[in-house]
Amino acid sequence: MKFYPKLFLTHLLVSLIGLFVVFGVAELAAPAFYREHIRMMVREFGQQGDNLHLELERGFRNTVTSAILVAIPVAVLVGLLSTHFLMRRIVKSVQALGDGSQAISSGRYNLRLPEDGQDELSQLARNFNRMAQALSDVEKTRVEMITNVAHDLRTPLSALRGYSEGLIDGVMEGDVVALKVLSEVSHMERLVQDLSLVSKVEAGKVELHPSEVNATQVLDEAFERFRAAFEDRQVELRVLPSPGLQVQADRDRLSQVLNNLLSNALRHTPQGGRVTLGVQKHAHQGVFMVSDTGPGIPAEHQGRIFDRFYRIDTHRNREEGGSGVGLTIVRGLVELMGGEVGVRSRPGSTEFWFTLPLSSPQGGEA
């Protein structure tokens, strides 16, 4: 049986049971209410009233019964009409929910249900719409991921094909081709490693080995790793003086976070610009900062800059664009180590910051 007739018959059955209960209670209880009134009338009539006692009681009882019997069909009719209109609204909402679920299951994530009202059905519609929006965002991310991965793999694969054809045609030397093929394979390996790491980070399956880490020492090591790359791009890299803070972190993962932020800053800082590294104490946390003098991040993009595969410039080239998951990895690793991450930006300046807990109380607040 379909939902509407089942719900309608259930409601009707409940109404009929209520009517019969009312009728039964009235038949049993009514005499107790009008019998005293009849006695008063009998006393007024005297001896003649004694003969009318039974007749009055019988007539009053028949009147009450007749009135109830007349009221029952009217009540049933009104109940049927009200049940019909009430059930129509409920069934309409349930049907809309069913149609929406079927549309979602077929991949049509743009369907939304009306949310009028404040009752439970309207709340259910709002929850459904939030679910549909979340699925739509996931689907959009999936499509973007496939597009970006295809883009990042197409370039090295095309280069490999070109090198292979050049080697076959004899227009390129074997050792030259070998070096270029190795470079392209390394690029693809980095992409695969980033994709693997971001999936582990988002699933919370990255193995951490926390310990006391000297924050200043880690910054100095990052400076030495990137000094040559910054000099090649003619971008100044500076490390601010900092107190000897000990933070609780996985040293390798902290270095990876700094590597990703410095690589990102180097890509977006023009020749002659400057990138600054620093760390300072705030309350019971160490606050790391990587700032640059690049073009800045528009305000409408700052809320999504850490999302997977999100890029401000969708027409970026391979050298400048990165894999699109570097900042996602930064956020995931920092949060797994008990910290927070954020960005402050305006035209001509961008600062990425993240926090890590101090290993023990160290001095006063900065």
How far apart, in whole angstroms, are the C-alpha atoms of residue 249 and residue 221? Answer: 16
Asked if 324 contacts 308 with a C-beta cutoff of 8 angstroms, the reply is: yes
Domain(s) of CATH 3.30.565.10: residues in the chain: 211-357
Neighbours of 52 (CB within 10 A): 14
Q: In the prediction, which pLDDT does 317 show?
A: 46
Residue by residue, DSSP assigns 118-177 as SSHHHHHHHHHHHHHHHHHHHHHHHHHHHHHHHHHHHHHHHHHHHHHHHHHHTSS-HHHH
Q: In the prediction, which pLDDT does 8 show?
A: 63
How far apart, in whole angstroms, are the C-alpha atoms of residue 195 and residue 190? Answer: 9
How far apart, in whole angstroms, are the C-alpha atoms of residue 38 and residue 269? Answer: 103
Asked if 307 contacts 324 with a C-beta cutoff of 8 angstroms, the reply is: no
Q: In the prediction, which pLDDT does 366 show?
A: 45
Q: What is the DSSP letter of 270?
A: P
The CATH number of the structural domain formed by 211-357 is 3.30.565.10
Q: In the prediction, which pLDDT does 316 show?
A: 47
Give the three-class secondary structure for 304.
coil
Q: In the prediction, which pLDDT does 179 show?
A: 85
Domain(s) of CATH 1.10.287.130: residues in the chain: 141-203
Asked if 283 contacts 247 with a C-beta cutoff of 8 angstroms, the reply is: no
Q: In the prediction, which pLDDT does 289 show?
A: 96
Look up residue 19 and give its two tokens.
């009517």
| pLDDT, tens digit (0-9, with 9 covering 90-100), for 35-88 | 666 666 666 665 555 556 666 667 767 777 777 776 777 777 776 777 666 667
Specify the length of the chain in residues.
366
| pLDDT, tens digit (0-9, with 9 covering 90-100), for 303-340 | 888 887 666 655 444 444 456 788 988 999 999 999 99
How far apart, in whole angstroms, are the C-alpha atoms of residue 280 and residue 65? Answer: 89
With a cut of 70, which residues of the chain have pLDDT below it?
Answer: 1-12, 19, 21, 23, 25-57, 60, 70, 79, 83-87, 89, 117, 119, 145, 151, 309-323, 361-366
Into which CATH architecture does domain 141-203 fall? Orthogonal Bundle (1.10)
Which residues, listed in sequence order, are joined to residue 297 by a DSSP beta bridge? none
